[in-house]
Amino acid sequence: MLNFGLTEMRLVAPRDGWPNPDAGPAASGADIVLANAEVFETLADAVTDCTTIYATTVRKRGVTKPVLTPEAAAREVHADAGRSAFVFGPERSGLETDDVALAHKIVTVPINPEFGSLNLAQAVILLAYEWSKGQALAQPPAVDLDPPAPHGEMEELIRHLVRDLDAAGYFFPADRTEATLRTLRTTLTKTGWSYNDIRMMHGIIATLGKVRKSARSED
C-alpha cells in the first residue's frame, strides 16, 4: 500500500486480533499504515462513509454487479468526489457472497484462466498500482544520455578495429572481407555512440592488441 501512496487501511474482525505483533516485521517499515489502521466488527461498519465500494474477487459468486478491471476502477475512484473503498477478502477464502452483495461493483484482475491463483498481497499491489497512476508519486530520476559523437569519431573507431582484426587474421576467407566489413559497419552504427563510448572501445581494442603481441613474444 505505502509503495503506491495508500495509507488508510480498515480491518474487519481480524482473525488474530489487533494490533498483531507479527504485522510490524511483515510490513517492512510501512509503520504509518499499521499505526493508522482502524478495526471494525462488520464490513458495513467499515464502509459507512464511502460512496462507492469495490469488491475484489475472481468470481461473481452469484451476485450480479458491474465488473471492472483494476485500471477502470482506479479511473472511477479518481473521478468520484466521494470516498471509495477496495474490499479484499481473507487470503484463503476470499470475500463471502454477502460481502460482494454489499459492494456496488466488482473488480476482477484479468488473469490466465488456466492458472487463476492470485494471493492477497498480489491483488492489493495490482489495485494500488493502478490507483497510483493518478497520483504525483516520485519517479526514477531522469539521467541525460551523453550526446552522440560526431560520425568522424566512429569512422576512426572502425578503422582502428578493422586494422587490428586484419592483423589478427579475422577476415577469412578473403573473398568475404567486403561483406564482413559491411556487416561490421552496420552493427556499429546502429546505436548513438557517445564520445566516451568510443574512447572506451579504443582502449579495449588497444589492450587486446597488446595482449596478443605479448602472447606472440612469449611463443
Q: Which of the pair, 116 or 1, is modelled with greater confidence? A: 1
Mean predicted confidence (pLDDT) in 203-207: 91
Cell reading at 173: 576467407
Summarised one tens digit per residue, pLDDT across range 111-139 is: 888 887 788 999 999 999 999 997 877 66
Mean predicted confidence (pLDDT) in 148-153: 90
> 26, 69 in Cβ contact below 8 A?
no
The alpha-helical segments, DSSP class H, found in the chain are 23-26, 31-36, 43-46, 70-79, 97-102, 120-132, 151-167, 177-188, 195-218
Burial class for 169, CB neighbours closer than 10 Å (0-12, 13-18, 19+): exposed
Summarised one tens digit per residue, pLDDT across range 24-69 is: 888 888 899 999 999 999 999 999 999 999 999 876 556 789 999 9
Give, for 107, the enclosing helix (H) or strand (E).
strand 105-107
CB atoms within 10 A of CB 154: 19
- Predicted TM-score of the model (pTM): 0.66
Tell me the CA end-to-end span of the chain in Å, nearest whole number: 65
Mean predicted confidence (pLDDT) in 148-176: 90
Summarised one tens digit per residue, pLDDT across range 69-111 is: 999 999 999 999 999 999 999 888 889 999 999 999 999 998 8
Q: Which of the pair, 213 or 38, is modelled with greater confidence? A: 38
* CATH architecture assignment, domain 2-132: 3-Layer(aba) Sandwich (3.40)
**Residue 53 CA from chain centroid, whole number:** 27
**Tell me, what's the pLDDT at 92?**
83
